[in-house]
């Protein structure tokens, strides 16, 4: 069962985001990007108050995703990417992104904190960061 309300178009938007942000990191990396996106919609906290839809989350400014500024994001969603997006929408979580609201790709090691958020771990090139349970209980 879905953990956030979506329609078919929103699933495709999330699938395109996951591919554009993390295709080079394989399915697991793409699932982690999806976790961050779903958490932002679920959370209603910190930088993501009043984010209620996939569109709100993907196109948020400031704070949205860099991939939306590049042409690759605007290619059609592929069936395999849509299937991955459905998995995270249905509640599948992957560590270290399971409770994360942020990720970025540093040139070196992951910092312990990023904008006062704790590092939950790294997967390939991306570092993931989580809020506290007190700041954002809905992502836990």
Helices 26-43 and 8-22: angle between axes, nearest 10 degrees:
130
Question: b/e map of 43-62 (b: 16 or more CB within 10 Å)?
Answer: bebbebeebeebeebbebee
pLDDT at 22: 95
- pTM score: 0.96
pLDDT at 62: 84
pLDDT at 81: 98
| Interatomic CA distance for residues 59 and 5, integer angstroms | 17
pLDDT at 78: 97
pLDDT at 76: 95
| Interatomic CA distance for residues 121 and 75, integer angstroms | 30
Nearest 5°: the CA angle 44, 134, 105 is: 70
Q: Residues 34-76: pLDDT tens digits?
A: 999 999 999 999 999 999 999 999 999 887 888 998 889 999 9
Nearest 5°: the CA angle 86, 89, 93 is: 105
Give the rounded distance of the alpha carbon of 102 from its chain centre: 7
pLDDT at 73: 95
Q: Which of 121, 135, 116, 115 is nearest to 39 (CA)?
A: 135
Q: Residues 79-127: pLDDT tens digits?
A: 999 999 999 999 999 999 999 999 999 999 999 999 899 999 999 999 9
Average pLDDT of the residues in 5-11: 97
């Amino acid at each position: 069962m879905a953990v956030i309300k979506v329609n078919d178009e929103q699933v495709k938007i999330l699938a395109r985001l996951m591919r554009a942000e993390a295709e080079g990191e394989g399915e697991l990396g793409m699932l982690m990007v999806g976790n961050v996106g779903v958490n932002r919609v679920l959370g209603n906290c910190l930088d993501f108050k009043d984010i209620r839809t996939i569109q709100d989350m993907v196109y948020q400014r400031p704070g949205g995703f860099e991939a939306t500024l590049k042409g690759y994001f605007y290619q059609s969603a592929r069936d395999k990417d849509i299937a991955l997006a459905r998995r995270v929408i249905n509640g599948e979580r992957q560590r270290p992104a399971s409770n994360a609201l942020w990720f970025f790709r540093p040139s070196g090691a992951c910092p312990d904190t990023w904008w006062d958020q704790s590092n939950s771990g790294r997967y390939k090139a991306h570092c993931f960061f989580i809020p506290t349970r007190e700041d954002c209980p809905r992502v836990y």
